[in-house]
Amino acid sequence: MTPDEAGVVYQNLASALSDLGFNLNLAPVVDVNVNAANPIRSFSADPQTVEAYARVFVEAHRGKGVLTALKHFPGHGSCNQG
């Protein structure tokens, strides 16, 4: 899905959270998937793509009055299977 298409999904998510009384979403995770041998749940292996989707996520939430928190888990994008 394109960032614009994802933006619609993120707006729906933010609307639902707001409707339920939430004003904070502890997301998105902005790790970059840099280890093909151990894929992680990430927007992409490309940092610019991660930035584009994270930006759309944050903007969609701000538009609905829901705060966000960019998250990073050190080593997550390059951890080894074991």
Per-residue pLDDT tens over the stretch 3-22? 999 999 999 999 999 999 99
Identity at 41, one-letter amino acid code:
R
Mean pLDDT of the chain: 88
CA 66, CA 14: separation in Å to the nearest integer? 6
- What is the pLDDT confidence band of residue 42, given thresholds at 50, 70 and 90? confident
Report the DSSP beta bridge partners of residue 29.
71
This prediction's pTM: 0.84
E-assigned strand segments in the chain: 24-25, 67-68
DSSP 37: T
Show me where the domains of the chain are located.
3-74
Check whether 68 has a pLDDT greater than 80.
yes
Q: What integer is the mean pLDDT of 54-58?
A: 97
Check whether 82 has a pLDDT greater than 50.
no
Q: Degrees (nearest 5) of the Cα angle 5, 28, 73?
A: 140
